[in-house]
Structures are given as structure tokens and as C-alpha cells.
Amino acid sequence: MLSKYKLNQLYFKDTQFANLMTRRIFNVLLIANPYDAFMLEDDGRIDEKIFNEYTSLSLRYPPRFSQVSTEEEAWELLEKMPFDLVICMPGTGDNDSFDIGRHIKAKYNHIPIVILTPFSHGITKRIINEDLSAFEYVFCWLGNTDLLVSIIKLMEDKMNLEHDVNEVGVQLILLVEDGIRFYSSILPNLYKFVLKQSQEVSTEALNAHQRTLRMRGRPKIILARTYQEAVELYRKYRNNILGVITDVRFPKVERGGKDELAGIKLCAEIRKNDPFMPLIVQSSESENALYAAKYGASFIDKNSKKMDVDLRRIVSENFGFGDFVFRNPDTGEEIARVRNLKELQNILFAVPAESFLYHISRNHVSRWLYSRAMFPVAEFLRPITWNSLQDVDAHRKIIFEAIVKYRKMKNQGVVAVFKRDRFDRYSNFARIGDGSLGGKGRGLAFIDNMVKIHPEFEEFEDAAVAIPKTVVLCTDVFDEFMETNNLYQVALSDADDDLILKYFLKAKLPERLVEDFFTFFDVVKSPIAIRSSSLLEDSHYQPFAGVYNTYMIPYLDDRYEMLRMLSDAIKGVYASVYFRDSKAYMQATSNVIDQEKMAVILQEVVGNQYGDRYYPSMSGVARSLNYYPLGDEKAEEGTVNLALGLGKYIVDGGMTLRFSPHHPNRVLQTSEMEIALKETQTRFYALDLKNGGQNFSIDDGFNLLKLHVKEAESDGSLRYIASTYDPYDQIIRDGLYPGGRKVITFANILQHDVFPLARILQLVLKYGEQEMRRPVEIEFAANLHPDQDKKGTFYLLQIRPIVDSKDVLDEDLAQIPDEQVVLRSDKSLGHGVVNDIYDIVYVKTEGYSASNNQAIAWEIEKLNRQFLDEGKGYVLVGPGRWGSSDTWLGIPVKWPHISAARVIVEAGLTNYRVDPSQGTHFFQNLTSFGVGYFTVNAYMNDGVYNQEYLDAQPAVQETKFLRHVRFEQPMVVKMDGKKNRGVVLMPEGGQG
């Protein structure tokens, strides 16, 4: 029975509240004699009174009133400026207000005219006999500014009714009343009630902006004054009516005689179609209560002194406003009360069956949701009636799943204000504080919204796409922490990193955060990543990727120990702003360090627990630009670097699997057995769950384990990740088989589509680039859970722009003779022309050994500092993978150690072949600053490295491992990013 509702495929489109109530009344012309104007204003300006009324009800766009006292003054203003509404009061000079209204209508037919009149026997008699068709409404003025708000709201509701109902299914209350005195009294009462209720309901919105927008979805109030008008409105909008309030005696048709039982006939007509539509009958004749009871309508006596109170109470109980109260159908006794969607979700399975049945069979749940402007879920639930299902448990499950889906949808793409009573397992992204989210925080919010607005991400039957649960401590928390603990003095000093960290760890975070952190622990129940999100990080032009620290902490049952670890990690991230590497980076980017502010992202770590370690099935970095396209691959199709375990392996330049998401079947590294055995991942990172971080270190990876792939095999995490090498048949078989070395090929995912990774990445890169209007780099992780409905979840962790130089390069670099170049690469990264480099620093190849790589890194850092101080750039040449944390693969520099380099070259030696390294934070910085990156293997006739020419030049400096040459004329660097070619030309007159 449940299968026909396809709950697992249920998709709710978010309500675009910004598209509602688009037609407004902004300018009102009020024609009143000076005495009435004074009465109207009393002791304050009418604009001010209306503004205050709007503000108290959280309404925006209060109208502006222009007042005149004669018809002549009215004509003058009408000529000068446009008006949306004219209100005429009686006694304006020589002419009658009804006549003035008709005169204006004759010339300005498009402007609605409303007449305000005092209540008297003479006026009543006149209204009965007069043709009022020129006027939108006639109201009885009782000196109450609430009436003016009601008139404007009534007009706006009528103007927006059809569009808003068709757009999202906005609801309406149908008021049927022809008595001017009565509807002039009822409407302010009713509007005040509805607006107050909507104000309360809007607190379920996730932030202030959402609350304001949500008020636009409030139920509208529509006034009908004849039976014919009421029936037409009912028939047209019956699926969107919350309830009907009707008088008994009113005309059947306009200007017709009164029908003594028109209201009762209307109830009968409605009951023919809908046995449960809430009906309220108002009458000054108490015998009509019997008629009302016959049609299941509530009755209100118009003569009652508490008529207004009765009306509010009955509307609240029957039209779905206020709390939802589950009652015993036999006794009417209250069983349970829910104030919001979360409480309804939590109590659904505990409500007794007979009470639950009573409410669902009368559409009470969907009506309650409609009144709270939760249109998508209300629309879905309304047709699922007791008659169509007849299974209480199934009905509970459907409502529960619908609420879960709806809450997930509402949470997605929105930065909510963190509230302890609201943050739960269906929450997605929240902020603590009022400052900035920082660069990474903004990026996360952006991709969360991107996934929400593109339904294609919901169309993967066997995969979910999401961001991990995230809470951001905004930059104002950082400011408060720095100021209250007096940390700026030590932070901005030349103190070493360890001392700065020591001072920061001693400092105290604001006390109010403790309970918020406890709530986060209870909801996430997994290890937590504490990531930097500074103002400058991931900016469109100077991303600070990988400059600041990111810590991970294990999940413990001891909340206070968790609190200690989390606090230390946050302080560690704050301290990293002032570490030496960060200061060097700031200097290189000409940024001022005391302008940098840090937000901190608290995020569940994507992964699964395997004994005492924790890691995801895979992590990766995807780029929408592929600087190394092979075969049929195109540069614009992008590239992905994928690895088992935590993403630190990729950041550190480990051996990842590289592929194009449009060609997942063609992976160079697995195309031949020898390459697959040699150039695939052999180690991976996992979080050590036993290491509680008693001594937080400036090394943010202090509690990460670097493990051999064999360990993952014993964890059982390689099911779809690995292939098996069969040494007897000399073949690699896709999948896991007993014995034989396990090779990380991701073959079942890339070739056999067990998990739609390539298709998801195509979408992510397509929409990421489309929405950012520039090439992007995306970090992601995924968890596979093959035994569940969804085979896995793909988590987006970060998005940042790749800055793409627009320099035009007309010439063909291949035509430049080798005799004119110091370096030539046919595998270069970067684009454009650099013509102000005079210096080149290169690692001496004679006697080179990889065992010296750490020492070489220290020498380079020292030289780099000199270049920073002088404000100069240079070309850097050396063997192996720059930035690899494995010193046997390359020189283990971090970006700040080489931040003045304008071109970086990986030059292979005869016995030290270079494979291009990709996918690290390090290379994001290269591309962002327009730094050239060349791969040269001159010993294999792959490019040119004219070291003999450099060796013949005098050295400015020479160390044990490095040589620094400076020319009098600049070396011109030319890079063609489309063809992946680059050259460093000899200075003029310096041909070798």
C-alpha cells in the first residue's frame, strides 16, 4: 500500500515566498475635511500610526498617505503623482464624499475608491438606495487605525489572490457579510488575529529573512457580499479555503433583495462537496443556531458582547491556527498538544489510534499545515485520506516521512540561526553569532543551496547528495575571544608558533557556547572536523587554501572531554591565523594580518567507524578545468583525484587515482598492470579514535593515522573500492578475491557504476561552474553503505573558484627554437605572460639524493624569505613532487615556503622520473596566483631543461643543495593553458 506513494522518491520543491504578495498598495490619497483629518490623526501622524501598526505585526512596505481636504486639492495631487488607492471621508467642503469618489473614478478608472463613512441612520438608509458600483468598498469609520490596515490588506489580498493561489496554493478565509457595520468591525479583528498567528508561525523559519518572507504566505481574507459572489469564490478556490465565516441574511445577487436564509443555503451547498470544511455562522437571530448545527457549523451570536473573542477562539480551533491539539473523539479531552512541525514528527507514533483516525479523517493535519504556510507537505498529504488508505500505521508512516523530507528540504540551502531546541538530526547548516561565515562557510552555504535548487541531485535512486551537518562560529565570536583574552599582543609579535598556540589554549571561549556545543554533540554523534573559514579564505582572487589549520576530534560519550577537545581545536584554528606560515602568506599576498578574521566550521566528519579508526569510503578533489586532458578528454570536462580514506592524503600529494568524470572507463593509472601496481594508492589516512588530543599540537594531523591499504582490507571497507592482483595469471581482477595484493582502482564504481560517482561529479562541476561563473574546484567525500536503500551518500565539503588568467597568447610556443629557452614544457599548468622575472633558483643535480629533500626544503624556505623581503619573484626548479609530505617522492615544502616563486618546475632526472602531482591545496594556490607549473623530463626528450646554460652563469648565492642565478635582463615566461605548453626564455642576448 505504501509503495504507491514512493516515499523514498518524494521530492518537495521549496515555496518561493518572495514571489507572493508582489502587488502592493504604496500610495494612498486620503480626502478628509480638517476636522475629520484631526480626528483621524488624533495626536500623531497617520503615517506614523500605520508604520507602528505594520512594525508590530512584522509587516513590511507600509503605505504612504497623502492628505487633502477638498476635491480641488485632490485633483492637483492626482495630476502630480500616481496613487494605488483613494479613500474618501464624508464632509469634504461643498461636495459629498460619494460624489467626489464617483468624479475621481470617472477619470481614473484604474484606481480603486473606498468610502469611509460614520455610522448613522441617515447614512444607512442612503446606502441601501444608492448605486455603489463605482466603489471598491464602503466602510464604517469608528475612529480606529486598525481599520485602515485592514482595508489595505483586504485590497492587497484581493489583488494577489489568483496569482498566489496558483503559484503555491496560498489559503484563504472566506468572509460572507453584507452589513457594512459588521464587516468594518470583524475585518480588523480577523486580520489582527491572522497576522499575529502568522507572526508566531513564522518563528519556525530558520532565520530573520526567512521569517519576514514567510509572512507573505499567510492566509488571505476575502470578503463576499452576496450569495452569488460567495458561491463563485467557493467553487473557484474550494481546495484552498481554510474555512468560511458567513452571515445568514444577505442578498442573493448584487443590488437584489435580501434572502432570509442565504447563509444557511451556502452552508448546504458547501456540505454537498465537503463534509469537513470548517463553517462559522454569525447571526443576530439566535434561532439560526439550529440551522447552523444541522450543517455542522459553529454559531456566533452577533448580539453577544464577546463576539470578537468568540470569533477568534472558534477560528483558532477550527481553521488550523495555533497549536495542534489531539483530542479523544468521544470526550473531547486533550491528549497531546504540538506547537511546531518537529513536535508533531516526534509524537506521531504515540497518539492513540482512535484520536489519530479522528483527526486524519477530517483533514485536520493538512489544514494545520496549510495555515502555517507549509504548502508542499500539506498539498501532498491532503489527498491521502482515510478512505484512500484505511491503515492507521501506514498513515502515520506517510505523515512522518513527509515531514522528514519537508524539514530536510527547508533546512537545505539555508543558513539557520542556531537554536538548541530546533537543531536536530534533520538540521543541516546553522550559525552561531552575527558576523561573517568566512570563505569556506560561504562556499558551503552556496553548494548546499546549489543542490537544493537543482532537482537533478534528487534523481539518483541509489545515492544521496548532501553537505555534512555544519555549524559555523561566525567571525564576531573570534573578535570577542581575541579581545576578552587580550591576545593581540602575543598574536602579532614574532613569537614562535608553539608559544602562540600555548597562549591561545590557555584563553577562554565565551561561556554561552557550552550548551550549544553539547546540543551539537548530541545531534551529530560522530567525530567532528574543526575547520578554518577566514574572511580571506577561498575569495575569488586569493584563496587561502591550506594555510590555516583543520583539526579532527573523535566522538566520546564523555561530553566534558569532548568539550575540552573541541575548545582546544577551535583555539588551535584561531591561533593558526598568527603562525609564521600564515604571516608569510599574508606578506606574499599584500594583506594586512590584523584585518584577517576567522570563522570556524564545526562539521561532522564523513566516514564509518572501524574499531579504533574512522575514515570515509573515499575522498576527492574535482576541478572543472582539466589541465592534463588525455585522448578524447576535453579541458572543460574537468578532472578528479580520488583516494581511499581522509582527504589529507590528497592534500599531502599522495598517489591518488586521477580520471575525467566524463570518461570514467578510461583511467590511465589502471590501463596497464605494471602502472596500476606502481602508481596506485598504497596508504591512507584515518582518524585515531583512541587519541583524545591531550596535547594539541601546531601539527593539525597529530591524531591521524597513516595506514597501509592492507589495514582497510581487514576493516572490510574495500568492497567496491579495490581490485585484486593475481600474481599467477598476471592479471588484476575487478573486485575482492582471496589472496593477492589489493589495488585501489575504484573499478566497481567507475567502470560498473555501483555508485553513480562520475554522474554526480558531472552535475556538481556543471552547476558549480555555472553558478560561480568561473571554473571551480570542489572537495568531496563519500560513504558507501551497500546494504541500505541508498547505496551511499556523496558529501560536498567545499567549493572554491579557480582563477583563470585571461592573458591572450597569440603565438605558437612550439615554434620557439630550443636555443632560445632555459626551460620548455609540454605539460605545463598556467596561462599568460610574465616578463619581470630576473632570478632562477635550482636544485643541483650532481650528487642529488632524495634523502636530502628535507634539508633542501629548509634551504628553499630561507631563500624564499629573502625574495619576499625584496618583493621579487623567481623561477624554482627541482626534482620530484613539490609539496609531497613523503620526502622520497619530492621536496616537502609547504606553500608559504615557496610563495614568492612565479614559476615552479618539476624536473625529472635519469634515475628519478617525475609524475605530475595534482589535487592538493598547494596547486590551488599556484593556479590562483597565476604561478606557472612545468613538468620537464629532458632525459626522456620530454621538454627542455638547459642546466648547462645556468651552470655557466655566475651564482648570486650557492648553498650545499641550491644555486641562485640572477640576470640583468628579465627572463620572459610564456604559458599556453589550452595547449598545456610553457617556456622560460633566455634573457635578451643570452642564447645558449
pLDDT in tens, 303-357: 888 888 889 899 988 888 888 888 988 888 889 898 888 888 888 888 888 888 8
475-498 b/e (C-beta count within 10 Å ≥ 16 → b):
bebbeebbeebebeebbeeebebe
In this model, does residue 544 exceed pLDDT 50?
Answer: no
The confidence band for 114, taking pLDDT boundaries of 50, 70 and 90, is: very high
Backbone φ, ψ for residue 537 (5° rounding): -65, 135
Of 616, 585, 622, 594, which is closest to residue 684 (Cα–Cα)?
616
Residue where one domain finishes, among candidates 380, 411, 442:
411
d(CA 171, CA 167): 11
In this model, does residue 43 exceed pLDDT 70?
Answer: no
Same domain for 422 and 388, yes or no, is no
Residues 153-177: what's their mean pLDDT?
Answer: 91
Helix, strand, coil percent content, the chain, rounded in steps of 5: 40, 25, 40
- Write down the pLDDT at residue 323: 85
In this model, does residue 104 exceed pLDDT 60?
Answer: yes
3-state secondary structure 816-830: CCHHHEEEEECEEEC
Same domain for 51 and 83, yes or no, is yes
Same domain for 66 and 158, yes or no, is yes
Nearby residues of 548 by Cβ (< 8 Å), 6 or more positions away? 532, 534, 537, 573, 576, 577, 582, 598
Same domain for 640 and 506, yes or no, is no
Same domain for 55 and 120, yes or no, is yes
- From the number of C-beta atoms within 10 Å of its C-beta (0-12, 13-18, 19+), residue 625 rates as buried
pLDDT tens digit string along 894-928? 889 999 999 999 988 877 665 655 434 355 466 55
| Paired sense of beta strands 85-88 and 955-958, if any | unpaired
Degrees to nearest 5, angle at CA 435 with 430 and 440: 60
Domain span at 289? 19-318
d(CA 519, CA 513): 10
pLDDT tens digit string along 378-422? 888 777 776 666 777 888 888 888 887 777 776 666 677 777 777
d(CA 551, CA 897): 22
In this model, does residue 2 exceed pLDDT 50?
Answer: no
How many other CB atoms are found less than 10 A from the CB of residue 684? Answer: 25
Nearby residues of 221 by Cβ (< 8 Å), 6 or more positions away? 153, 154, 157, 172, 173, 175, 187, 190, 191, 194
Dihedral sign, CA of 183, 184, 189, 191? positive
Is 297 part of a structural domain of the chain?
yes
pLDDT tens digit string along 822-868? 999 988 877 778 889 999 999 998 888 989 999 999 999 999 999 99
Backbone φ, ψ for residue 407 (5° rounding): -65, -40
Nearby residues of 608 by Cβ (< 8 Å), 6 or more positions away? 614, 615, 616, 617, 717, 783, 785
Nearby residues of 554 by Cβ (< 8 Å), 6 or more positions away? 527, 565, 614, 687, 688, 689, 690, 691, 692, 703
Q: What is the DSSP letter of 41?
A: H
pLDDT tens digit string along 368-381? 888 877 877 788 87
In this model, does residue 95 exceed pLDDT 80?
Answer: no
How many other CB atoms are found less than 10 A from the CB of residue 734? Answer: 18
DSSP 829-854: E--EEEEEEEEEEEE--TT--GGGHH
- The domain that holds 232 is classified in CATH as 3.40.50.2300
Q: How far is CA 778 from CA 624, 625, 640, 645, 728, in A?
A: 9, 11, 9, 17, 41
Backbone φ, ψ for residue 168 (5° rounding): -135, 0
Lowest mean pLDDT among 589-603, 620-634, 636-650: 589-603
- Write down the pLDDT at residue 206: 52
In this model, does residue 806 exceed pLDDT 60?
Answer: no
Residue where one domain finishes, among candidates 771, 803, 835:
803
Backbone φ, ψ for residue 218 (5° rounding): -60, 155
**Axis-axis angle for helices 757-772, 438-453 (nearest 10):** 110
Q: Which amino acid is at 612?
A: D
Number of domains forming the structure of the chain = 5
- Long-range contacts, 284-292 (Cβ 8 Å, 24+): 285/248, 288/248, 288/263, 288/264, 291/248, 291/261, 291/264, 291/267, 292/264, 292/267
- Write down the pLDDT at residue 19: 79
Coil, strand or helix: which one is 501?
Answer: helix
Residues in the chain: 992
Is 8 part of a structural domain of the chain?
no
Cβ atoms 469, 528 nearer than 8 A: no
Is 9 part of a structural domain of the chain?
no
- Write down the pLDDT at residue 422: 75
What's the chain's average pLDDT?
Answer: 83
> What are the grid coordinates assigned to 692, written together?
583524545
Residue where one domain finishes, among candidates 411, 427, 452:
411
Same domain for 784 and 838, yes or no, is no
In this model, does residue 147 exceed pLDDT 90?
Answer: no
In this model, does residue 89 exceed pLDDT 60?
Answer: yes
3-state secondary structure 145-176: HHHHHHHHHHHHHHHHHHHHHHHHCCCEEEEE
Residues 17-40: what's their mean pLDDT?
Answer: 79
Is 992 part of a structural domain of the chain?
no
d(CA 939, CA 866): 32
Same domain for 611 and 630, yes or no, is yes
Cβ atoms 413, 453 nearer than 8 A: yes
Query: Which one has a higher pLDDT value, 750 or 169?
Result: 750
Same domain for 250 and 111, yes or no, is yes
Same domain for 844 and 713, yes or no, is no
What is the largest distance, in Å, between two alpha-carbon atoms of the chain?
A: 115
- Write down the pLDDT at residue 918: 45
In this model, does residue 1 exceed pLDDT 60?
Answer: no
Lowest mean pLDDT among 125-134, 150-159, 884-893: 125-134
Of 503, 498, 497, 509, which is closest to residue 578 (Cα–Cα)?
497
Same domain for 168 and 67, yes or no, is yes
d(CA 457, CA 790): 13
**Bridge partners, residue 551, by sequence:** 530
> What are the grid coordinates assigned to 654, written together?
599522495
| Paired sense of beta strands 683-688 and 704-708, if any | antiparallel
How many other CB atoms are found less than 10 A from the CB of residue 303? Answer: 10
Place of cell 591531550: 694
In this model, does residue 807 exceed pLDDT 50?
Answer: no
Cβ atoms 656, 679 nearer than 8 A: no
Is 206 part of a structural domain of the chain?
yes
Q: What is the DSSP letter of 9?
A: G
In this model, does residue 819 exceed pLDDT 60?
Answer: yes
In this model, does residue 42 exceed pLDDT 80?
Answer: no
Is 962 part of a structural domain of the chain?
yes
| Paired sense of beta strands 598-604 and 528-534, if any | antiparallel
Of 982, 543, 525, 989, which is closest to residue 802 (Cα–Cα)?
543
Lowest mean pLDDT among 68-72, 418-422, 639-643: 418-422
In this model, does residue 34 exceed pLDDT 80?
Answer: no
d(CA 928, CA 836): 19
Coil, strand or helix: which one is 360?
Answer: helix
Same domain for 519 and 483, yes or no, is yes
Coil, strand or helix: which one is 103?
Answer: helix
- The domain that holds 557 is classified in CATH as 3.30.1490.20
Q: How far is CA 397 from CA 83, 346, 349, 407, 487, in A?
A: 53, 12, 8, 15, 54
Q: What is the DSSP letter of 912?
A: B
In this model, does residue 426 exceed pLDDT 60?
Answer: yes
> What are the grid coordinates assigned to 724, written together?
585484486
Q: Side-chain half-sphere of 626: how many Cα atoms within 13 Å?
A: 22
d(CA 218, CA 339): 17
d(CA 254, CA 131): 10
In this model, does residue 643 exceed pLDDT 80?
Answer: yes
Same domain for 169 and 284, yes or no, is yes
Is 579 part of a structural domain of the chain?
yes
Is 32 part of a structural domain of the chain?
yes
